[in-house]
């Protein structure tokens, strides 16, 4: 079984500043993927960034980047130049290949507020 | 591309009735569809995984006779909440994996808010 832990229920950041959201995970699998999803008030889940565990290079998507520390099982998300539209719930997730399909296990989420 | 729709977006029903929620992949074929439940201010909890033409695999603690899942085609899965009760009120989200795509990638529908009176 996989577990994903987000220890920050809420975070806030000043507009244009940088914020880092923490995530740790536990898995016994060698083949897995890690994700950060954003859920705005509309509740539509939006993929922010994805990391393949076998890749050492940290994934980046424009203002979003991750710090993937495989040995420490840590997967933090850094948001640079924060914008008002970044305000949302952020969920860290990992996959497991249960039932022959890649099932997602989510953390409890971090609510990010952006202060103008 | 990779759009998933859900219908209805909101439904209110009386206790004891059954409610069907549809999940469609609009522009791709889905090998697998997933159903999640999300309570207010909480995370997504996986309810079941379904593959086209097969019986769904339910997570521990999810009543398969209460939450009926049918995955009749590569673009449609339905979740029927049978004999709904107020405690079934929640936000239900489906997702789909792209046939031939990266198996680990899921595309999410916009969700359905169910209120049982």
Cα distances (Å, whole numbers) of residue B44 to A13, A45, A105, B91: 25, 10, 8, 9
> Which of A52-66, A95-109, B7-21 has the highest mean predicted lDDT (pLDDT)?
B7-21
Check residue B103 and give its pLDDT.
59
Check residue A31 and give its pLDDT.
80
For chain B, say whether A9 makes contact (Cβ under 8 Å).
Answer: no
- In this prediction, residues A4-8 reach a mean pLDDT of 97
**What chain A residue is nearest to B105 in terms of C-alpha separation?**
A102
Tell me the chain A residues in contact with residue B106 when contact means C-beta distances shorter than 8 Å. Answer: 102, 104
- In this prediction, residues A43-52 reach a mean pLDDT of 94
Report chain B's mean pLDDT, rounded to a whole number: 92
Q: Which residue has the tokens 């954003």?
A: A38
Answer whether residue A62 shows pLDDT above 90: yes
Cα–Cα distance for residue pair B95/B113, rounded to 1 Å: 15
Answer whether residue A99 shows pLDDT above 60: no
Is there a contact between A101 and B32 if contact means CB atoms under 8 Å apart? yes
- In this prediction, residues A82-103 reach a mean pLDDT of 86
Q: Containing H/E element for B32?
A: strand B30-38
**What chain A residue is nearest to B91 in terms of C-alpha separation?**
A43
Q: Which residue did the predictor score with more confidence, A9 or B98? A: A9
Mutate to test the interface with B, among A8, A96, A99 (most CBs of B within 10 A): A99
| Token reading at B17 | 């009735």
B44-82 confidence digits (pLDDT tens):
999 999 988 888 999 999 999 999 999 889 899 999 999
How far does Cα B11 stand from its chain's mean position? 14
Paired sense of beta strands B106-108 and B90-98, if any: antiparallel
Cα–Cα distance for residue pair B29/A43, rounded to 1 Å: 24
Show which of residues 75-114 on chain B sit within 8 Å of chain A, judged by CB atoms: 91, 93, 95, 97, 103-106, 108, 110-111
- B2 falls in which pLDDT band (50, 70, 90)? confident
Residue A51 burial class via C-beta count within 10 angstroms: exposed 0-12, middle 13-18, buried 19 and up = buried
């Amino acid at each position: 079984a996989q577990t994903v832990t987000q220890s920050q229920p809420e975070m806030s950041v000043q507009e244009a500043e940088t914020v880092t959201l923490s995530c740790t995970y536990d898995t016994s699998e060698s083949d897995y993927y890690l994700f950060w999803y954003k859920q705005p008030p509309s509740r539509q889940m939006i993929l922010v960034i994805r990391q393949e565990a076998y890749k050492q290079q940290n994934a980046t998507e424009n203002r979003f980047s991750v710090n993937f520390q495989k040995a420490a099982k840590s997967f933090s998300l850094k948001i640079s130049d924060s914008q008002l539209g970044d305000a949302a719930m952020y969920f860290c997730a990992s996959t497991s290949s249960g039932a022959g399909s890649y099932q997602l296990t989510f953390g409890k989420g971090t609510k990010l507020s952006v202060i103008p | 591309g990779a759009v998933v729709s859900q219908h209805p977006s909101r439904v209110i029903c009386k206790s004891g009735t059954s409610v069907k929620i549809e999940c469609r992949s609009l522009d791709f074929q889905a090998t697998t569809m997933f159903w999640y439940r999300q309570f207010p201010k909480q995370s997504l909890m996986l309810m079941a995984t379904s593959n086209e033409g097969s019986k769904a695999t339910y997570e521990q603690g999810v009543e398969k006779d209460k939450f009926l899942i049918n995955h009749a085609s590569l673009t449609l899965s339905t979740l029927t909440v049978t004999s709904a009760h107020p405690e079934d009120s929640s936000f239900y989200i489906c997702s789909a994996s792209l046939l031939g795509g990266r198996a680990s990638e899921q595309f999410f529908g916009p969700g359905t808010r169910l209120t049982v009176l």
